[in-house]
Amino acid sequence: MTEKPVIAVLMGSRSDLPAVENTFKILRDFGVSFEARIMSAHRTPEDVREFAEDAEADGFKVIICVAGMAAHLAGVVAAHTVLPVIGWPMVSEPFNGMDALLATVQMPPGVPVAAVTAGKAGAKNAALYALSILALGDAGLAQRLKEFRRGQAAEVKQADGELQHYLKAANSAR
Looking at residue 93, its pLDDT comes to 86
Give the pLDDT confidence of 112-156 residue by residue, as tens digits.
Answer: 999 999 988 999 999 999 999 999 999 999 999 999 999 999 999
Residue 2 has pLDDT above 70, yes or no: no
Distance CA 118, CA 114 (A): 12
Q: Which of 81, 92, 27, 20 is nearest to 49 (CA)?
A: 81
Residues facing 62 on adjacent strands? 7
Please check whether residue 97 is in contact with residue 91, taking contact to mean a CB–CB distance below 8 angstroms. Answer: yes
Radius of gyration of the chain (CA): 19
Cβ burial, residue 20 (10 Å; 0-12/13-18/19+): buried
Task: Work out the angle at residue 65's Cα, subtended by the Cα atoms of residues 108 and 121, and round it to the nearest 5 degrees.
Answer: 105
Decide if 32 contacts 134 (C-beta within 8 A). Answer: yes
Separation of CA 101 from chain center:
13
Confidence of residue 1 (pLDDT cuts 50, 70, 90): low
Query: For 26-75, how does the pLDDT look when each residue is reduced to its tens digit (9 = 90+)?
Result: 999 999 999 999 999 999 999 999 999 999 999 999 999 999 898 999 99
- How many Cβ atoms are within 10 Å of 123's Cβ, its own excluded? 24
Q: What is the pTM of this model?
A: 0.92
